[in-house]
Amino acid sequence: MKKMVITCAITGAETTREHNPNLPISPQEIADGTYDAYKAGASIVHIHVRNPDGTPTQDVEIFRETIKLIREKCDIVIETTTGGAVGMSPEERLQPIQLSPDMASLDCGTVNFGDEYIENTWPMMQQFAEEMKKHGVKPTLECFDLGHVYLANKLIETGLLEAPYHFGMVLNVPGALPYTQDNLKYMLKVMPENSEWTVVGIGGKGAMMGVADAIELGGFMRQGFEDNIYFEKGVLADSNAQLIERAANMAKDAGYEIATPADVREIFNLKSK
Ligand code: ZN
């Protein structure tokens, strides 16, 4: 049976301490939380970083420090965001790529985000893919709508990406595609061959639907405070590791082995193999 890859989306750009007081913010907190999530079964960490006041930033020095502290603790696969936060320029968002992380998110289309939106034009997508190729970074093609999966196919046709491709199917972002299993299945239907996928369900219910669908449909899982701050309805999660542990246990109960970082480097044919 296929091994289950679990990504921990540890901080995100939008979650605050007011939402959940256990949110890791500083590079040290992110590294400590990552290590706990790794011990609980995460083999990839998806990172955003913050200024000391908690606001989102793409500052390359803060990414450098965070990655260094994570590397001192474990060999978890590191995926940096290039989504950044609402209102950031493409150049600002691309900064962490110069550090050659193992992987990075690549948003495959402009998306509504509550009252705001995140801009991802077709030229930007090509620019991001080129930059990732230059630095040996594996993109995770984040799709928030069905049309984004078609655009990801078009990006693959440019030859800028290497197989196997990795999709992040993001469901339930306010203003984008709601999470229903039918919607996810349709996205998977449009995904090209030689692809792996991780389901990213937003909110407490979305996160749990993601775990169930990854098990049922043979994909990978993502959990963490970027996507969901609750352990159960009305009860805040104590830590990212608590969410990872539950997902890992559910996958194990369903017969999966949990992938290690070395497995992930193999499965995605990462340059850091
Ligand atoms: Zn993110």
| pLDDT at residue 87, rounded to an integer | 86
Q: How far is the CA of 255 from the centre of ligand 1 (A)?
A: 29
Q: How far is the CA of 189 from the centre of ligand 1 (A)?
A: 24
Backbone CA torsion sign across 106, 198, 136, 98:
positive
Distance CA 24, CA 12 (A): 10
Tokens read off for 71: 């590397």
Fold of 6-267: TIM Barrel (3.20.20)
Each domain of the chain, given as residue ranges in start order, spans 6-267
User: What does each C-alpha distance from 86 to 38, 83, 98, 151 come to in angstroms?
Assistant: 29, 8, 21, 21
Q: How far is the CA of 9 from the centre of ligand 1 (A)?
A: 7
Q: Give, for all 273 residues of the chain, the pLDDT tens digit.
A: 789 999 999 999 999 999 999 999 999 999 999 999 999 999 999 999 999 999 999 999 999 999 999 999 999 999 999 998 888 999 999 999 999 999 999 999 999 999 999 999 999 999 999 999 999 999 999 999 999 999 999 999 999 999 999 999 999 999 999 999 999 999 999 999 999 999 999 999 999 999 999 999 999 999 999 999 999 999 999 999 999 999 999 999 999 999 999 999 999 999 876
Q: Which of 133, 59, 43, 132 is nearest to 93 (CA)?
A: 59
Q: How far is the CA of 84 from the centre of ligand 1 (A)?
A: 7
For residue 269, the one-letter residue type is: N
Read off the pTM: 0.97
Q: How far is the CA of 143 from the centre of ligand 1 (A)?
A: 12
Q: How far is the CA of 83 from the centre of ligand 1 (A)?
A: 6
| pLDDT at residue 162, rounded to an integer | 96
| pLDDT at residue 2, rounded to an integer | 85
Q: How far is the CA of 47 from the centre of ligand 1 (A)?
A: 7
User: What does each C-alpha distance from 272 to 44, 219, 265 come to in angstroms?
Assistant: 13, 23, 7
Tokens read off for 150: 């078609």
Q: How far is the CA of 58 from the centre of ligand 1 (A)?
A: 12
Tokens read off for 213: 């669908």
Q: Any residues with CB less than 8 A from the CB of 22 and at least 6 apart, and which?
A: 225, 236, 237, 238, 239
Q: How far is the CA of 82 from the centre of ligand 1 (A)?
A: 8
Q: How far is the CA of 180 from the centre of ligand 1 (A)?
A: 21
| pLDDT at residue 181, rounded to an integer | 98
Residue 74's Cβ-count burial label (10 Å; 0-12, 13-18, 19+) is middle
| pLDDT at residue 247, rounded to an integer | 98
What count of Cα atoms within 13 Å lies in the side-chain half-sphere of residue 151?
Answer: 21
| pLDDT at residue 273, rounded to an integer | 66
| pLDDT at residue 268, rounded to an integer | 97
| pLDDT at residue 244, rounded to an integer | 98
Q: How far is the CA of 7 from the centre of ligand 1 (A)?
A: 11
Q: How far is the CA of 2 from the centre of ligand 1 (A)?
A: 25
Q: How far is the CA of 263 from the centre of ligand 1 (A)?
A: 22
For ligand 1, an ion, list residues with CB under 5 A: 81
Q: How far is the CA of 226 from the centre of ligand 1 (A)?
A: 7
